[in-house]
Structure 1
Amino acid sequence: MDIDTRCSQMMEDLMKSPLERNLTGRPEDSMQMQEEIQTSKVLAAELCKAIRSGSVLDFVEALKETAVTDKKHVSSIVGQVSNAGNTVLHMAAYYGKVEILQLLATHVPQLITRRNNTGDTVLHIAARNWDESSIHIILSCYKRHFENKYLKKENNEEALWRMRNEHGNTPLHEAVVMAYGGPVEVAEILFEEDEGGAHLENKEGKSPLCLAIQNRNYKVARLLLQAPFPNGERHRGSCPLHAENSGFPKDSALWSEGIQTSKFLASNPFWVRN
């Protein structure tokens, strides 16, 4: 038995209670666990240290020891948060500990939709870090455990990829802000889940598309330009064409991309300023 399989089995055993609650991750099957997670207190220092170490085995052992010391069920321990409101899942994403994130997202999927003090879900953090592996894991576990509740309705504002933080940013906003003219892979993953997210506005009235052009990331902009407007609506908020005019170095390749994007925007009747 390899270390990942061993740790997964250990985690599964730890999550079982004498009542043999159903921990499939579906809300209707785990209300008691949801209540325990919501009422949990400050995250134990030992767990923080174990997460930073990156060892899955160390984390599971620390989790077991903390549960014994605090005389609480493991579901209460994994629901504890730091002073910033971060769960163990938030922290695993922040430090890029993919193995620990995989373990938690699989066995405690209820944490996937938890927000910290600034409204970030774990997907916001993974998108901000441009962590493709973590994003794939989060989305896979989310869709497997919460499909019935969140994914039936198209453009559901409660879906994970549409959840907003205190700035009104979705995970796609965060990915675009952090792209810095780089590759499109992370934005592409999120875009494939929800094309309409390219036009959602944050509290400043800026969509991911507007931010991509404002940041002169024309590779991402061309990706997001593929998103159709719902019901033929006009663009709202800050106009991407105006964002493009913020100025950029006349480097040959970048200037060419910018000019091409500007021509497209200028000829597109949807780009109007309210």
Structure 2
Amino acid sequence: MVKLTRDFVNQRKKQERERKKKVKQDVRGKGKIEKHIEKQLYELSLVPITITRIPGFLIDGEEKENYGSSTSMDPDLYTAAMEGRILELVEAVEKGPADRQSDRVVPASCIQVSPQKNTMLHIATSYRHHEIVNLICKDLPFFIQEKNSKGDTALHIAARIGDPLLVRLIVDAIRGSSGESMLGDKNEDGNTALHEALLAHHEKVARILIDKNREMSYSANKEGKSVLYLAAAAGYADIVRLIMENPLGNYNEQQRLQNESPVHAAIHGRNIDVLKIMWEKDQSSFHLRCEQGRNPLHCAASIGYLEGVKILLQMFRGAAYQRDRNGFFPIHIASDEGYIGIVQEFLWHCPDSRELLNRQGQSILHLAAKRGRIHLVNYILKVPTLQNLINERDENGNTPLLLATIYLHPKVVSVLTWDRRVNLLLMNEDGLTALDIAQEYNTDTQMMASCPKRLTWLALRLTCAERSQPTASRNRRQSSVEGVCSKFESYKENVNVILLVSTLVATVTFSAGFTIPGGDNNSSPDEGSAIMLRERMFQLFVICNTMAMYSSIIIDVTLIWAQLIDLGLVFFALKLAVPLLGVALTMMSIAFMAGLYLVVSKLSWLASVVLSLWLIFLVMLAAIFIPLCCSASCYILRYISYYPFRLMLYTLGSHEGDDSKE
């Protein structure tokens, strides 16, 4: 770095003046002279203070609107500091009247500040102008302690931008002026320069600041974050070791208890080396809890930090048996989040952790089912040593199946009902089975439009699940019916939609009955009869068309009665109309296929295409209507309806997302 002496600067300035054609006019700084004089006169009582009414001025009792004002810096000085032009800076500094500070003459213009109270040292530092910073630190060292509106010194700015050379210049100037305490100055956020360096992830600058002042305070900022916390969060293992081994810094037990835990910071930063160092240097810090009452093992389990869980279980296994403020053990946190690998790690190191229950009496399977963690539920069902959790009840009498039904996770309900060990008839304290709960949700007006609720109900209907008939259940259903009465209009909309579709089916089949394929016979003795009467496909057409016609008429009549204000009839009509509508649509499709097949039967390949497309359609229609219209009381029927239900679950339940977490 080029070192400029005062003589060299004056010589360069003289040459610059000669080259210039016109010298800029001096701009004298404006002090607050009037205010100063008035204060002096008042204190010395040299003149009496009287207030007279002058046109254009206000007297006591009158309000004056305050528009506000701000300080400003000389444009030449600001521009020179910002652009790094050292000669113009020196010229701007020497303009203006003199003001004495510390028995030396210092130009008043040089202590000007910008609207945010930045001095020329702040500005030069923020723009990384090393020569100007060096010159100011040597010739005007009092600038180093000046703070802007945010409480930042030039050292704060240098540490924040991460410039090691600027930091060394300013720190050396501070140490040379015997003001080492300034290294620990805090800004408005309570951050020292070391805080700023760590917050901005400037490891090299942080090491410089620590090396230059081993007695620096390691206190916390206003957020409660100490420099050790920030170093641990950033993963700077060497700095963590340096801070914890420093005998002169004030890193102590009382300070750790008052601030956020550095161990938790290391876990959130996934810094395994920092964890090992902190365990080696200070094991007591691993007993600190966060605001939620969670220990480091809770923290690692909540973010899915598998490597951290392994290390903590090896070093601090007792933390696995500590509750947080919600009553959750660390294995419950992992189960609630669906982290299979972490649950496996807990069961490996702490086999008896499978017996841990939260304050609601819920096990890891309860929590996995409650949150819809399908992959974790599958894993638990496959582990023989965990089978005692399958039908375990919590304090409300809910099994994992009941919780999955209550919180509407059809995938979990389907998996649990396929396991023969799951008891489908168990009831909770309200006397409700899983099918009771699903049925109540399914008959609620607000619930009918929700896919998870409908699919949960279907998953239970496709099993041998049964409903209970306790008094509490009847009372609950009665209150539910009373609530639905006020929303009868929404049911009428569903009735009208089905009525419209069935009417269209009746119209189409009625027309098809009189426009038969092939036409009528015009010759006697079979005049008026169908030409293709003896064809099997024609006979199939007539039968299916008739069935579709009558099914749609039955639907129409039933739904017309449902328009009456009879809530029980509305439920019955909707329950009957859906399967009948499926029959009508199926018969209409078969009739269409048979009629079209008769028309194109002379062209064999085209007839085969018509038949193939009809078979594909029939499979798709069955996939939709079989789960809706029937329940399976044995496993054979369940296997038949399994794939249609899985298709519906995939298409309608895709919003649940993937919860697989290793």
- Report how far residue 60 of structure 1 moved: 1.1
- Report how far residue 63 of structure 1 moved: 2.5
Runs of 4 or more, structure 1, over 6 Å off, are: none
CA distance in 2, matches of 1:78, 1:185: 32
Aligned in 2, Cα 1:189/1:120: closer, same or farther, shift over 3 Å?
A: same
Answer yes or no: is the 8 Å Cα contact 2:112–2:119 preserved in 1: yes
CA distance in 2, matches of 1:230, 1:199: 6
- Report how far residue 110 of structure 1 moved: 0.8
Deviating more after overlay: 78-87 vs 225-234 = 225-234
5 Å-filtered alignment, 1:116-265, equals: 116-145=148-177, 147=178, 150-151=179-180, 159-179=181-201, 184-197=203-216, 199-228=218-247, 230=250, 233-234=253-254, 235-236=256-257, 237-248=259-270, 258-265=271-278
CA distance in 2, matches of 1:220, 1:45: 42
Of 19, 34, 43, the match for 2:73: 43
Aligned in 2, Cα 1:4/1:232: closer, same or farther, shift over 3 Å?
A: closer
CA distance in 2, matches of 1:231, 1:175: 19
Query: Across the two proteins, how many residue pairs are aligned to each other?
Result: 220
Of 61, 65, 75, the match for 2:91: 61
- Report how far residue 85 of structure 1 moved: 0.8
1:273 pairs with 2:280: no
Answer yes or no: is the 8 Å Cα contact 2:190–2:220 preserved in 1: yes
The SS at the match of 1:195 is coil
**Structure 1 equivalent of residue 135 of structure 2:** 103
Q: Give the structure-1-normalised TM-score.
A: 0.70
CA distance in 2, matches of 1:112, 1:60: 18
Answer yes or no: is the 8 Å Cα contact 2:244–2:251 preserved in 1: no
CA distance in 2, matches of 1:144, 1:247: 38
CA distance in 2, matches of 1:44, 1:204: 37
**Structure 2 equivalent of residue 5 of structure 1:** 5
The SS at the match of 1:245 is helix
- Report how far residue 8 of structure 1 moved: 6.3
- Aligned AA (1:87): T
- Report how far residue 243 of structure 1 moved: 1.0
Answer yes or no: is the 8 Å Cα contact 1:56–1:100 preserved in 2: yes
Q: Which runs of 5+ in 1 are unaligned?
A: 12-38, 152-158, 249-257
- Aligned AA (1:226): E
- Report how far residue 192 of structure 1 moved: 1.4
What whole-Å deviation, never above 9, does each CA across 1:207-230 have from its counterpart, x for those lacking one?
111012223344543443333464
- Aligned AA (2:279): A
- Aligned AA (2:244): L
- Aligned AA (2:75): A
Aligned in 2, Cα 1:133/1:165: closer, same or farther, shift over 3 Å?
A: same
CA distance in 2, matches of 1:247, 1:192: 25
Answer yes or no: is the 8 Å Cα contact 1:172–1:208 preserved in 2: yes
CA RMSD of aligned residues (A): 2.9
Deviating more after overlay: 46-55 vs 189-198 = 189-198
- Report how far residue 189 of structure 1 moved: 1.2
CA distance in 1, matches of 2:7, 2:288: 54
Deviating more after overlay: 228-237 vs 126-135 = 228-237
- Aligned AA (1:273): L
CA distance in 2, matches of 1:4, 1:270: 53
Answer yes or no: is the 8 Å Cα contact 2:183–2:193 preserved in 1: yes
What whole-Å deviation, never above 9, does each CA across 1:239-273 have from its counterpart, x for those lacking one?
1001112154xxxxxxxxx2222123234135253
Answer yes or no: is the 8 Å Cα contact 1:199–1:209 preserved in 2: yes
Answer yes or no: is the 8 Å Cα contact 1:94–1:129 preserved in 2: yes
Aligned in 2, Cα 1:230/1:174: closer, same or farther, shift over 3 Å?
A: closer
**Structure 2 equivalent of residue 20 of structure 1:** none
Q: Give the structure-2-normalised TM-score.
A: 0.31
Aligned in 2, Cα 1:238/1:165: closer, same or farther, shift over 3 Å?
A: same
CA distance in 1, matches of 2:269, 2:253: 28
- Aligned AA (1:241): V
User: What percent of counterpart residues are identical?
Assistant: 31
The SS at the match of 1:4 is coil
Higher relative contact order (CA 8 A, sep 6+): 1
Aligned in 2, Cα 1:247/1:122: closer, same or farther, shift over 3 Å?
A: closer
- Aligned AA (2:264): H
Q: Which runs of 5+ in 2 are unaligned?
A: 12-35, 37-70, 100-105, 290-662
CA distance in 1, matches of 2:167, 2:236: 21
CA distance in 2, matches of 1:176, 1:6: 37
Answer yes or no: is the 8 Å Cα contact 1:198–1:224 preserved in 2: no
What whole-Å deviation, never above 9, does each CA across 1:106-163 have from its counterpart, x for those lacking one?
1111111111100001110111111111111112222222x1xx45xxxxxxx11110
CA distance in 2, matches of 1:121, 1:172: 12
5 Å-filtered alignment, 1:89-100, equals: 89-100=121-132
Answer yes or no: is the 8 Å Cα contact 2:93–2:107 preserved in 1: no
CA distance in 2, matches of 1:247, 1:138: 31
**Which of 1 and 2 has greater Rg?**
2
CA distance in 2, matches of 1:87, 1:80: 7
